[in-house]
């Protein structure tokens, strides 16, 4: 039997929580460090965040050897692309819009083997994360289970201060959470924001966060 790609979605209902940034970080890590074949389907056609950054990087002279492919598409076509590409890659990411009502978004998510949910600890983000999990558990996971495919779901705290009160309260209840969370917590950082790239992982470290540890945790869930 031919090996087929693992499909990964970094998703949440909420906008601006770091979905596209994490997708780029993980795809870059798979390409540069794990040396596996990876492609990103940029299915958020209103923004095409990853494709747009990639274009700028190419214009600025990015070394083509270092670039994994980024395919500009949309949520309606993404499921068909997945079927076409599944034998050609080890990993396929789909960067989706947050709006599950947009055609093709639920179908795309239902094809994911790994779902990573970034969230801050603001009430609004936690609310969206709860709603997203409810939709996954009611509409997506049962269908996947019925055809015998597994789905791994993880949360990752994003733009969160480890020294904040919210984090301490969250950690006190972590055992009660319905999903596992990454230990590493990504801070709200101007440096990280500035260093956003589709093809370079910057070896960023602060007192409370190390990029290499977060990427190591990611490797362990693959
Ligand atoms: N660690 C960080 N600290 C501060 N800002 C960040 C960080 N990571 C990403 N950002 C910025 O936050 C904004 C939103 O990030 P991103 O585009 O990854 O989120 P998204 O969930 O994909 O958003 P959308 O729902 O619009 O697709 C971007 O301007 C990005 O540069
Ligand atoms: Mg995005």
What parts of the chain have a pLDDT lower than 70? 1-2
| Contacts of range 101-106, beta carbons closer than 8 Å, 24 or more positions apart | 102/75, 103/75, 103/76, 104/43, 104/74, 104/75, 104/76, 104/77, 104/78, 104/79, 105/75, 106/135, 106/139, 106/140
Q: Which atom of ligand 1 is nearest to the CA of 196?
A: 31
* Burial of 161: CB neighbours in 10 Å, binned 0-12, 13-18, 19+: middle
- Which pLDDT value is given to residue 3? 85
Q: 98 C-alpha vs ligand 2 centroid, how far in Å?
A: 8
Question: What residue owns the CA closest to ligand 1's atom 5?
Answer: 193
Q: How far is CA 157 from CA 8, 102, 141, 167, 182, in A?
A: 18, 26, 22, 9, 7
Domain 6-216 in CATH 3.40.50.300? The answer is: yes
Q: 13 C-alpha vs ligand 1 centroid, how far in Å?
A: 14
- Which pLDDT value is given to residue 1? 54
Question: What residue owns the CA closest to ligand 1's atom 16?
Answer: 18
Q: Per residue in 54-111, pLDDT tens?
A: 999 999 999 988 899 999 999 999 999 999 999 999 999 999 999 999 999 999 999 9
- Which pLDDT value is given to residue 65? 85
Residues with CB under 6 A from ligand 1: 15-21, 44, 47, 49, 98, 159, 186, 188-189, 192-193, 196
Q: How many CA atoms lie within 13 A of 121 on its CB side?
A: 20
Residue ranges per domain, the chain? 6-216
| Closest CA relative to residue 155, chosen from 57, 18, 29 | 18
| Closest CA relative to residue 125, chosen from 95, 82, 150, 155 | 155
């Amino acid at each position: 039997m031919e090996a087929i790609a693992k499909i990964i979605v970094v998703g949440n209902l909420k906008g601006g929580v770091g979905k596209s940034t994490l997708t780029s970080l993980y795809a870059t890590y798979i390409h540069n460090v794990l040396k596996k074949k990876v492609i990103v389907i940029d299915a958020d056609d209103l923004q095409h965040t990853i494709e747009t950054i990639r274009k700028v990087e190419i214009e600025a002279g990015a070394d083509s050897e270092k670039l994994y492919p980024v395919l500009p598409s949309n949520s309606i076509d993404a499921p068909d692309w997945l079927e076409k590409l599944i034998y050609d890659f080890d990993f396929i990411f789909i960067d989706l819009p947050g709006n599950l009502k947009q055609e093709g978004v639920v179908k795309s998510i239902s094809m994911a083997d790994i779902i990573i949910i970034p969230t801050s600890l603001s009430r609004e983000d936690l609310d969206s994360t709860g709603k997203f999990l409810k939709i996954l558990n009611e509409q997506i996971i049962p269908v996947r289970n019925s055809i015998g495919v597994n789905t791994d779901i993880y949360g990752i705290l994003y733009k969160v201060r480890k020294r904040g009160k919210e984090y301490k309260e969250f950690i006190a209840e972590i055992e009660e959470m319905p999903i596992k969370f990454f230990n590493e917590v990504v801070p709200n950082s101007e440096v990280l924001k500035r260093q956003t790239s589709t093809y370079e992982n910057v070896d960023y470290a602060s007192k409370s966060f190390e990029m290499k540890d977060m990427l190591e945790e990611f490797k362990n869930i693959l």
